[in-house]
Amino acid sequence: MKVPLTRYQFVEFLIRIASEKYMRSGYCDNYSEALEMLMKNGIQEALDNVEDPQVWRENRLWKNDVDDLILNKQESIRKLFRSFAGKLLKKN
């Protein structure tokens, strides 16, 4: 049985992208700044172009082809997540 990606996993995924893009390159010193930059430089612009999120969900997200794609690629997404999961945790 395939289990969907949870909310916290999605948030961790966004933080990892922000970290790689903005902290590793030296643009930011912490995760908060990096995530804020990721939101301002791409995600927010894309969100602003969506007039009504519910209409977008109904017309684009909740479609059989999107569901099929996610289900077909779910194992690859999980492998990618597992390969990075926990690497941002502080070591004691």
3-state DSSP assignment of residue 62: coil
- Residue 78's pLDDT is what? 87
pLDDT at 51: 73
For residue 90, is it within any domain? Answer: no
Q: Is this structure's pTM higher than 0.75?
A: no
d(CA 19, CA 84): 12
Domain contains 91: no
- Assess if residue 88 is contained within a domain: no
Instruction: Indicate whether 86 belongs to any domain.
Output: no
pLDDT of residue 56: 81
Residues in the chain, pLDDT under 50: 92
Tell whether 9 and 43 lie within a shared domain: yes
pLDDT, residue 1, reads 60
d(CA 66, CA 59): 11
Q: Would 5 be classed as within a structural domain?
A: yes
Chain-centroid distance, C-alpha 11 = 6
Domain interval for residue 61: 52-80
Q: State whether 74 and 44 are in the same domain.
A: no
